[in-house]
Amino acid sequence: MNYFRRGTLSALVNCTRSKPHTSSSTRLISTSMSGSLYSEAWLTGAGSTEFYTRTYTPKDSPPKAAIVFVHGFAEHIGRYTHFHPQLAAKGVSVFAFDQRGFGLTAQDTTGKKSKSSSYGKTSIKEQMSDIAWAVEHAKKTFANTPMFLMGHSMGGGEVLWFGTQGENGPHKSTLDSLSGIIATSPMILQTTPVSKVTRWVGGKLSVVLPTTLIPTPLNESDLSHDPNVGATYAKDPLVRLQGTLKGVNDMMSSGEALVKSAYSKWAKNTPVLIIHGTEDKVTSCQASKDFYEKIPATKKKLSLFEGGYHELQNEPDGVQEKLANEIITFIEEHSAQATTRVPDAEVTEQAAETMVTAQASTEPGTADFVKAKM
């Protein structure tokens, strides 16, 4: 069964600019970006699952903040070897992991992955536990450092879902420890949705055949204005144009719920930055706008990159550098405010402050910032 049409949710499979990473128990590696270092390691996470991880650290000083990064559908953290060093070079550490069902966590051939791990085998419940584990690990690694949660595409949808678990959520204490959440091109809705009939059939089948793999075709040219991005992606041996019925259905259902009802449970005192390209043909920019308008966050910001495609971190002409600067600016602002945060219960609607990013140019990534009181 082909659950997707070309150019719809299937395009969540993301491009890669770097060669696939190889595994080792623990290695310290220097990148070409200002000599930034990252270590790679296999760590035991939620459900006793073995995860392939990378940790990027600033070269010459302690980090001023740290990010836990959650990648997108069918991709892996090796694709960010060109981007995460930019954040580390600006003083922010990054802890990233190949998600359950993807990358080396699911496809390692050297005996390091869990025996129970296989490609695409995941669920939204497990993903939330994995994120909580990753944040708690990073908090121990970077003690007394402001902690941020960031995700791209499917990972963007996941981190937003993490922020809507409500007062009685299973990971509420972990959520409360965050200084902010960042979502780039989040999978809330598809730009071009599949039919309701296809969604209904896929949902039913996901219950009885959860680990069955289905094709998820992709139009690589929808990922970036740089044609080399799609070409490199197509050759990546760790990316497969497939997903399991359970994993895909959970991804789509949770995204739909974000704009239908879950938005009301957003942790009001958790700052959020949502970034989206206005010409994203994969995930809906309008859905990001709708979610932003609905959530009751006291500090929220929507940044629209005019003309940007799905992979802003892979866009040419300085866009990825502008993206890094946008992220760093948000982190610096909310790191300074981290020590003054109050519990959600004490936040009033009158204190709500929102920030909207408006674009003043047709060049992707250029923006003027407009601050509005609500």
Q: Give one DSSP letter per residue of 17-73, joined into a string.
A: SSPPP---SEEEEE-SSTT-EEEEEEEE-GGG-EEEEEEEE-SSS--SEEEEEE--T
Residue 345 has pLDDT above 80, yes or no: no
> Band of the pLDDT at 186, cuts 50, 70, 90?
very high
Q: What is the arithmetic mean of pLDDT over 6-12? A: 34
Q: Among the listed ranges 11-25, 45-59, 174-188, which one has the minimum average pLDDT value? A: 11-25
Q: Among the listed ranges 189-203, 237-251, 317-331, 354-368, which one has the minimum average pLDDT value? A: 354-368
Q: Can you give the pLDDT at residue 341?
A: 53
CA distances from 271 to 11, 73, 259, 337, 340 (A): 29, 25, 18, 10, 13
Q: Which domains does the chain have, with CATH numbers?
A: 9-373 (3.40.50.1820)
- Pick 14 or 227 by higher pLDDT: 227
- Pick 127 or 348 by higher pLDDT: 127
Q: Can you give the pLDDT at residue 218?
A: 84
Residue 32 has pLDDT above 90, yes or no: no
- Pick 161 or 369 by higher pLDDT: 161
pLDDT tens sequence across 229-244: 999 999 999 999 899 9
> Band of the pLDDT at 343, cuts 50, 70, 90?
low
Residue 120 has pLDDT above 70, yes or no: yes
Task: Report the chain's mean pLDDT, rounded to a whole number.
Answer: 86
Q: What is the arithmetic mean of pLDDT over 337-366? A: 44
CA distances from 283 to 84, 160, 226, 277 (A): 22, 14, 18, 9
